[in-house]
A = this chain, B = another copy of it.
Amino acid sequence: MAGAFDPAAITLATLGENALVARLVCGLPLGADVLVGPGDDCAVIGRPRDKTWMLLKTDCVIERVHFAAGEDLRRVGWKALCRSISDVAAMGGEPAHALITIAVARTEKAARLDALYAGLRKAARRFSVSIVGGETARSEGPLFVNVALTGTVARGRCVLRSGGKPGDALYVTGRLGGSLGGKHLDFIPRLDAARWLAAKFRPRAMMDLSDGLAADLPRLADASRCGFELWEEKIPRTRGCTVAQALNDGEDYELLFAIAAGGAASLEASWRKQFPKLPLTRIGVLSRRSTINHQSSTRHGFDHFA
């Protein structure tokens, strides 16, 4: 029946990533100890009165999607673990234990997997992560590396995406755009900065930028039930990058956070002393729902299935 609408025929490309995730996580079974389920940078497990909560994150990198086929696998291993560490950092937490799953062709050289593990070990040592287990499986597809990571966070320092309020100042660390030039493989997760922020300035909402500010800022605003005003001319850009690249390239692994506007001046002064080499830039403000313009040109960024 040409022209008839067939819901069974909808592909992931049609649906898009956000809608797919919303569809899959709706009504998932969650126990009473799950304080935060799917939708934030990490899940949060514990009881409200516990002093320390557990963080859980899973993430993957895939050949020809997240790295080129001939890429140095040491850098891929570093990236694979640091992506999840960046998510734990964005909650105000500390990474703890990693599990590694690798799917690989049986014709792959063992020396290439040694290199991959060298990168994983390097990141694990640098950020005090224990690699406690893993799985290696044969695949006929591209090389696939999954990292599942646990972390811990003190109850009083756990920062979600959902605590922002209208009027909060929006900040990003570092410079955005052009990550495919190399930073996407060699970035340093902002664990030090996030730890310091969570302890000293308690952001109301925070996340790491993985899909580009244009995709990620609306997610933080939505989670906080706010709109946002983005000052595009203020966005700190990697040298040579346009505003569009800074918005849409993705894989920046910088922090995006919202704090009460009254604390902004104090934050900026303290930041310059604490992190003199790392830019901190105020890029806008959270606003009331009534002023959201979700159809604005900024709502693009990276969609895995688009």
Contact = CB atoms under 8 A, between A and B. Distances in A.
Nearest to A117: B24
A283 to B, nearest CB: 27
A199 to B, nearest CB: 22
> How many copies of this chain sit in the oligomeric assembly?
2
A290 interface: no
A287 B56 CA distance: 41
B56 A97 contact: yes
Q: Among A58, A60, A131, A142, find the residue whose CB has the most chain B CB atoms closer than 10 A.
A: A58
A180 interface: no
A17 interface: yes
A264 interface: no
Interface stretch (A102-110, A245-253, A269-277): A102-110
Interface string A14-45: 11010011011101111101100110001101
Contact of A38 (B25, B27, B134): B134
Interface stretch (A120-128, A153-161, A165-173, A185-193): A120-128
Nearest to A24: B117
Interface stretch (A5-13, A214-222, A236-244, A255-263): A5-13
A146 B134 CA distance: 11
B12 A43 contact: no
A204 interface: no
5 contacts: A11-B106, A37-B131, A38-B133, A58-B99, A141-B142
Nearest to A26: B117
A242 to B, nearest CB: 25
A175 to B, nearest CB: 26
Contacts of A34: 97, 130, 132
Given A133-B37, A140-B64, A305 B106 contact: yes
A43 B140 contact: no
A31 B130 contact: yes
B133 A42 contact: yes
A31 B132 CA distance: 9
B124 A43 contact: no
B134 A24 contact: yes
Contacts of A38: 131-134
A62 interface: yes
A134 B25 contact: yes
Q: Among A65, A104, A148, find the residue whose CB has the most chain B CB atoms closer than 10 A.
A: A148
A297 to B, nearest CB: 24
A136 interface: yes
Contacts of A10: 109-111
A124 B30 CA distance: 9
